Amino acid sequence: MTHLFRKHPFVVSAFALAVLVSVFLIGRILVQAVYWSQHSEVAIEPWMTVGYIGRSWNVPPREVDERAGLPKPENGHPFTLDQIAKDRGVPVAEIIALVEQTIADIRAEREKDKTK
């Protein structure tokens, strides 16, 4: 192996780097797949963002924002349901119920479209 590295240091280094990057990316994909398989349709809680909820419930987060009249993330910083409730001066349970109803509506429309 050292003979190969001495003869072709660039090629061997590039190959080793490609293998390391591939292992890292495969590991990341596996971790995310395992995480989201265990966090599917979890109960909605105040600490969650609409993006997290959308991913967990398999609905487009921006569609939930739009239909429920929730603020979109500002400068890439999403709001938690608790922050949204505080900004509106309403109980967080009201925002959670609104999000749950919006998800139910989106899913009902999907089912309706499937039967057509």
Residue 74: what pLDDT?
82
Whether residue 105 sits in one domain with residue 74: yes
Whether residue 73 sits in one domain with residue 47: yes
Q: Does pLDDT of 67 surpass 80?
A: yes
Q: Report the C-alpha gap between 26 and 21 in whole angstroms.
A: 9
Whether residue 63 sits in one domain with residue 32: no
Higher-confidence residue of 37 and 22: namely 22
The band of 38, judged by pLDDT with boundaries at 50, 70 and 90, is confident
Whether residue 46 sits in one domain with residue 3: no
Whether residue 44 sits in one domain with residue 33: no
The band of 44, judged by pLDDT with boundaries at 50, 70 and 90, is very high
Whether residue 114 sits in one domain with residue 103: yes
The band of 73, judged by pLDDT with boundaries at 50, 70 and 90, is confident
Whether residue 66 sits in one domain with residue 105: yes
The band of 4, judged by pLDDT with boundaries at 50, 70 and 90, is confident
Whether residue 34 sits in one domain with residue 44: no
The per-residue DSSP string of 19-80 comes to HHHHHHHHHHHHHHHHHHHHSTTPPP-TT-BHHHHHHHHTS-HHHHHHHHTPPPPBTTBPPB
Residue 53 CB contacts under 8 Å (≥ 6 apart), including other chains: 44, 59, 61, 64, 99, 103
Structural domain containing residue 11: 1-38
State pTM to two decimals: 0.72
The band of 51, judged by pLDDT with boundaries at 50, 70 and 90, is very high
